[in-house]
Amino acid sequence: MTGVEAKIDRLHEVLRAAEHVVVAYSGGTDSTLVAAAAARVLGDRALAVTAVSPSLAPGEADEARRVALALGIRHRMLRTREAENPAYLANGIDRCYHCKTELYDVLALVAAEAGGAQVMSGANVDDLGDFRPGLRAASEHGVRHPLVEVGMTKADVRGAAREIGIPTWDKPASACLSSRSAFGVTISVEMLSKVGRAEAVLKELGFRQCRVRVHGEVARIEVEPGDLPKLAQPGVRERVVHAMKALGYRYVTLDLEGFRSGSLNPE
């Protein structure tokens, strides 16, 4: 038995012992693994809940629904209202805390309706060393992180997801659309919608991992380093510039460092 297989077995044990769970299911690989494992060992006593709000990238909710159906887990889509919270829109370094507080408030109600189910997230061991104010909200709500409990890193998660046949095992990392604006710059629903549409343009052109970071009138595009030449190709470049300007960005720039997760996080 490999190390990943042993961790999958331990994950099943943790979930089986929980008896009844509500999974905060974003559709990313981490939470999808938790949802898939919960469906395997708990059946109808596992529920995946996807939060829908202006901060969710276009297409993510539909993909989450499709994958949940393929996994055979019960699934609900619920609206969260972090974009109505001034503390969230202020976009301070604690923004994720306010977002996750709203999410876990909603999931706590779902768990109570289900007779006291345990709320679980897809956080993994690597997340503990990153800048994650949302983990404080999870702690305050008693949310469990089963991937952390069994010692799974991000690499373990992808390996486990592939091992058990999750179709999105290699899905690129995603993040709340509000992360595209520097801390301290006020967020608006219009800004979230605009950046979501901007990134959709890049994905339609075949860029799987991309970000459009917003700096006032400037759209700073990040793609994987290997994709930099493609974005600069004649035809592609013009289409991107036209689309970004049509959305209202005055300047369109390409970040030569390429994609970096959390590139606007405080250093």
Q: Are residues 74 and 152 in the same domain?
A: yes
For the stretch 18-27, pLDDT in tens is: 999 999 999 9
The amino acid present at 31, given as its one-letter code, is: S
Q: Are residues 12 and 134 in the same domain?
A: yes
194 pLDDT higher than 60: yes
Q: Are residues 216 and 139 in the same domain?
A: no
Q: Are residues 157 and 181 in the same domain?
A: no
Q: Are 202 and 240 in contact (CB under 8 A)?
A: yes
Q: Are residues 181 and 158 in the same domain?
A: no
Q: Which of 163, 197, 216 is the last residue of a domain?
A: 163
Return d(Cα 44, Cα 205) in angstroms, integer. 39
Return d(Cα 144, Cα 111) in angstroms, integer. 13
3-state helix, strand, coil in the chain (%, to 5): 50, 15, 35
Q: Are residues 230 and 159 in the same domain?
A: no
Q: Are residues 189 and 222 in the same domain?
A: yes
174 pLDDT higher than 90: no
Please indicate, yes or no, if residue 263 is contained in any of the structural domains. Answer: no
The reported pLDDT for the residue numbered 14 is: 97
The reported pLDDT for the residue numbered 130 is: 72
Q: Are residues 141 and 181 in the same domain?
A: no
The reported pLDDT for the residue numbered 260 is: 82
The reported pLDDT for the residue numbered 173 is: 85
Q: Which residues of 230-255 are buried (b: 16+ CB within 10 A; e: fewer)?
A: ebeeeebeeebeebbeebebeebeee
Q: What is the mean pLDDT of the chain?
A: 94
For the stretch 160-170, pLDDT in tens is: 999 999 999 99
The reported pLDDT for the residue numbered 262 is: 62
266 pLDDT higher than 60: no
Return d(Cα 39, Cα 7) in angstroms, integer. 17
Please indicate, yes or no, if residue 242 is contained in any of the structural domains. Answer: yes
Q: Are 161 and 33 in contact (CB under 8 A)?
A: yes
For the stretch 29-55, pLDDT in tens is: 999 999 999 999 999 999 999 999 999
- Residue 85 three-state SS: coil
- Residue 77 three-state SS: strand
Our count of domains for the chain comes to 2
For the stretch 100-155, pLDDT in tens is: 999 999 999 999 998 899 999 999 999 998 778 899 999 999 999 999 999 999 99
Q: Which of 163, 186, 208 is the last residue of a domain?
A: 163
The reported pLDDT for the residue numbered 264 is: 61
Q: Are residues 150 and 247 in the same domain?
A: no
267 pLDDT higher than 60: no
Please indicate, yes or no, if residue 80 is contained in any of the structural domains. Answer: yes
Q: Are residues 130 and 187 in the same domain?
A: no
Closest to 146 (Cα-Cα) out of 124, 168, 116, 117: 124
pLDDT band at 186 (very low <50, low <70, confident <90, very high): very high
Q: Are 195 and 203 in contact (CB under 8 A)?
A: no
Mean pLDDT of 212-218: 96
Please indicate, yes or no, if residue 170 is contained in any of the structural domains. Answer: no
Please indicate, yes or no, if residue 209 is contained in any of the structural domains. Answer: yes
Please indicate, yes or no, if residue 78 is contained in any of the structural domains. Answer: yes
Please indicate, yes or no, if residue 35 is contained in any of the structural domains. Answer: yes
Please indicate, yes or no, if residue 140 is contained in any of the structural domains. Answer: yes
Q: Are 252 and 221 in contact (CB under 8 A)?
A: yes
Which residue has tokens 């709340």? 176
Bridge partners for 50 per DSSP: 77
Q: Are residues 73 and 190 in the same domain?
A: no
Residue-number span of the structural domain to which 207 is assigned:
177-254
Q: Are residues 20 and 132 in the same domain?
A: yes
* CATH code, domain carrying 40: 3.40.50.620
